[in-house]
Amino acid sequence: MNTNIFVRIRPILFTIFGFAISHNLFFIMLPIRMKETGYETSNIGFAMSMFAVGTICAGLFGSRAVLRAGYIRAFASMAATLSIISVIHSYTSNIWLAGSLRMIAGFCYVTSFITLESWLNVLSDRSNRGRVYATYQICFAGGFGIAPFLLSMFRESDPRLFGLISVFLSFSLIIMSMSRLPAPELPAKNTPLTLKRLWQYSSSGTMSCFCAGLINTASISLISLYAYDKEISGIWLSLILGSYQMGGLLTQFPTGWLADRFDKHVITSCLMIMGVISNSLIVLDNFYSYPIELLAILFWISGGVGAALFPLAVTQVFDHIDSKEAMPAISTMRILSGTGGVIGPIVASQLMNAFSAVWLYYYITTIHVFVFAFLIFRKLFI
């Protein structure tokens, strides 16, 4: 398995690449579209946070769809529903409808991720799991990072972009539908692991899942508003909007390689230090303006650290569970991440609305400090 694992999982890697492009086009387009319509930042943050409500529902009920229809058909149903959502968005910019559609999209995307990630866990083992998940995240980050460059080819309000989203969703659906990759054995139960059980397996992984949601959903949902406020434009706008994903391309495989060889808690702690430094420097740009080239590099480092946190948390948990518990475990982790994802954009957007756009990065820095402190406390005293 070790020699051909990356060949075997190619359909999953190509699929997540296409899915990620569509995913980020939604995240970038919708806040800008609502801002141009005249909605307040706090209301936009609330609407975008509904995606995370959908992820919680997916964690609770998504595995039932897989048990009912099987891996391939469940994935196909989610992709088709997302394509319908894309078409509906092209006809309206109503913020309440957008929030409802974000919730449904959250359910569909995360049910798809649960399906693919539990599949990967069955195909990998402890000797290669870090690299397998890193490669998966690289493909996700690559697709996510391409989306801003596609956006730069159109006006933000161009309805053809929603058609482009549907194209990439169909691309992913065709690959998985035609794949000969054997589906893993369906789990015996369709309920997530209890939080207590997950905490017993890995308290660090559990806490990191929650904090990854606090960081990542706020960053992805609101970075376009930060760039809008700073009046960043052109190629630099694309580079900064894609910083979370393109930074992930730089950090994922080295992080996975190191995590397969060294203590994952130490690797995570080092990442958090990088996150504190990079996000603090982004805050300082508000007072002492940097060259745009340096600012883009800081955004890439910040994004790379945020992108690496969730997969590291997943590998920490999966190192301690049986393969039959993969889907219940990933469901619970998605619930935790989704809960953080509901809280994150609401808190961050309120701070941005009350003070200024740069408070997004005060918020992100604080979460990095908390994760680092938790890991150090656990290492020294537990």
Residue of higher predicted confidence among 243 and 205:
205
Q: CA torsion, points 111, 117, 123, 125, in degrees to nearest 10?
A: -140
Tell me the per-residue pLDDT of 23-60, one tens digit each, with 9 for 90 and over. 888 877 777 777 777 777 777 777 877 887 887 788 77
Cα angle, residue 253 at apex, residues 248 and 256 outer, rounded to 5° = 110
Is the CB of residue 88 less than 8 Å from the CB of residue 101? yes
Tell me the per-residue pLDDT of 218-253, one tens digit each, with 9 for 90 and over. 887 777 777 777 776 667 777 777 677 677 777 777
CB count within 10 Å of CB 269 equals 18
- pLDDT for residue 3 is more than 60: no
**What is the distance between the terminal CA atoms of the chain, rounded to a whole angstrom?**
36
Task: List the alpha helices (DSSP H) in 152-194.
Answer: 160-178
Task: List the alpha helices (DSSP H) in 319-355.
Answer: 326-354
Is the CB of residue 204 less than 8 Å from the CB of residue 378? yes
pTM of the model: 0.69
Closest-CA residue to 336 (of 248, 190, 214): 214
Confidence band for 157, pLDDT divided at 50, 70 and 90: low
> Average pLDDT, stretch 147-174?
79
- Residue 30's Cβ-side half-sphere holds a number of Cα atoms within 13 Å equal to 35
Mean pLDDT of the chain: 79
Percent of the chain topping pLDDT 90: 1
Using DSSP, state whether 159 is helix, strand or coil: coil
Per-domain boundaries in the chain? 5-179+192-381
CB count within 10 Å of CB 160 equals 11
Closest-CA residue to 24 (of 173, 140, 170): 140
Confidence band for 1, pLDDT divided at 50, 70 and 90: very low
Helix axes 71-89, 41-69, angle to 10 degrees: 150
Tell me the per-residue pLDDT of 73-119, one tens digit each, with 9 for 90 and over. 888 888 889 888 888 887 877 888 888 888 898 899 888 887 887 77
H-helix or E-strand containing 225? helix 203-230
Name residues whose C-beta falls within 8 Å of residue 376's C-beta, 6 or more positions apart in sequence. 269
Instruction: Pull the structure tokens for residue 293.
Output: 């080239």
Name residues whose C-beta falls within 8 Å of residue 155's C-beta, 6 or more positions apart in sequence. none
Q: Cα 79 vs. chain centroid, distance in angstroms? A: 17
Tell me the per-residue pLDDT of 272-321, one tens digit each, with 9 for 90 and over. 898 899 888 888 887 887 787 787 888 888 888 887 888 888 777 777 77
Residue of higher predicted confidence among 379 and 81:
81
Is the CB of residue 106 less than 8 Å from the CB of residue 55? yes
- CATH dotted code for 5-179+192-381: 1.20.1250.20
